[in-house]
Structure 1
Amino acid sequence: MRQYETYKCSKCGNEVEVQNVGGGKLTCCGQEMSCITEDLTAVNLMKAFAGESQARNKYDLFADIAQEEGWHAVARHFREAAENEKWHARAEFKAYHKLVDGAETELTLKNLDSAMAGENYEHTTMYPNFAKIAEDEGHKELARLFNAIGKVEVEHEREYKALQDAMREDGFFSDEEEEEIWVCEVCGHIHRGKRAPNACPLCKVGKEYFKRQCLGL
């Protein structure tokens, strides 16, 4: 038994992560639990990724607070640290995928699947459960906060699905049905037509920098 390994009960499905290694065994439902961790280094990489990602957002918030209070030098240091944490997280994320999948990054279509699954879990399971717990404990404002955020995640899932459908149907840069408004993300040039131009006539960037205005693509 090692710290951070996960053990699972074969009867009820309960999972427990080891925090402190003792001399006994983990049991549940009257039987010994089984270790389901196959690669502890992979687990640790994702733990590190989660920690660095959380630190990055926390430092960004700290920077905003320092900026509002007039401590501009402190805000700059927090933002620099946040950028450092982003790159730490990036290195760990790529290392995880190289270890587990044999490649540092996934294809965008697969990443969209992952994003949709995450958003779906948040708005169907996580936030409703959090809201109920908050409500039961008398934290009505926090229950409303969880529910409100959950509704946003519904839209995120829909947006990712629309993006994925556009990629699969080869409709990301064209629409054979009707004319669309295409906006250059670099210079703001607006093009009207069934497909994005191969290059922006104003700043010369390629069509990959154009998005459909109606869908936000």
Structure 2
Amino acid sequence: MAVNFSESMTKENLMRAFAGESQARNRYTIAAERAEKEGMLTIAEIFRYTADQERAHAERFYDLLKDLSGETIHIDGSYPVDQQDSLTGLLRAAEHNEHEEFADVYQTFGKTAKEEGFSEAASAFFQIAEIEHIHEQRFGKIAEMLESGSWYQPQTASKWMCTNCGYIHEGNQAPPVCPVCRHDQGYFIPYQMACYKID
């Protein structure tokens, strides 16, 4: 059924998505500051990396509203408050919220957009949902590694990369200090999670 965009649910859902992505960006920026204070520099960078992707999602949803420029869209919505006592708590909350966006929210928004005849918006919802699924998996894996103690000391020999200088360490645990640049352990990331690695 074709619907006038200005009278559509899709218009409201795009604004809800814009608001949700904007809030996620801020929550992850705040979580990054918390990780940094705890000396977990690479996890702080992962939160910031994800926050930047959430900003890109917000921009995409906002761009799809450009035909209504100058208007005000009233929406009702509910958004999480994730004041956690631990870094793993923040990661698990982020994992949960990303799962909801992937499995429920954006599937529903995409289906509505498709039914209303807005194929570009539907595609954006479905494609961004898949990215949120990757975010969910990333946050879950990091939380699992912290909970099991395997972020810096796995069960078997492993590799880590110093994100400051690029040094790659192999052994049973990440070194307390990088032997090359002398930055502390917080700059090491499990090699399997390092960006731009080759193998």
Same fold by TM-score greater than 0.5: yes
Partner of 2:131: 152
Partner of 1:213: 191
Shift of 1:210: 0.5
State TM-score, norm by structure 2: 0.55
Query: How many pairs were matched up?
Result: 125
Partner of 1:182: 160
DSSP 3-state at the match of 1:214: helix
* Contact map agreement 2:161 2:194 (CA 8 A) in 1: no
Any runs of at least 4 consecutive aligned residues in structure 1 with deviations exceeding 2 A, and if so which? none
- Deviations 1:122-159, CA, capped at 9 Å, x for gaps: 01111001101110111112211111110111111111
In structure 2, what is the Cα distance between the partners aligned to 1:165 and 1:175? 12
In structure 2, what is the Cα distance between the partners aligned to 1:148 and 1:176? 36
In structure 1, what is the Cα distance between the partners aligned to 2:133 and 2:118? 23
Amino acid at match of 1:115: A
Higher share of residues assigned strand: 1
In structure 2, what is the Cα distance between the partners aligned to 1:106 and 1:162? 19
The structure that has the greater radius of gyration is 1
Please, which of 91, 97, 101 is the counterpart of residue 122 of structure 1?
101
Shift of 1:185: 1.0
Shift of 1:106: 3.3
In structure 1, what is the Cα distance between the partners aligned to 2:120 and 2:190? 38
Partner of 2:182: 204
Greater relative CO, 1 or 2 (CA 8 Å, sep 6+): 2
Shift of 1:120: 1.1
* Contact map agreement 1:174 1:195 (CA 8 A) in 2: yes
User: Percent identity among equivalent residues?
Assistant: 25
DSSP 3-state at the match of 1:183: strand
Give the CA RMSD over aligned residues: 3.1
State TM-score, norm by structure 1: 0.51
Unpaired runs of 5+ residues, structure 2, are: 1-21, 27-51, 60-80
Shift of 1:203: 1.1
* Contact map agreement 1:174 1:194 (CA 8 A) in 2: yes
In structure 2, what is the Cα distance between the partners aligned to 1:107 and 1:131? 34
Please, which of 180, 183, 193 is the counterpart of residue 171 of structure 2?
193
Amino acid at match of 2:147: R
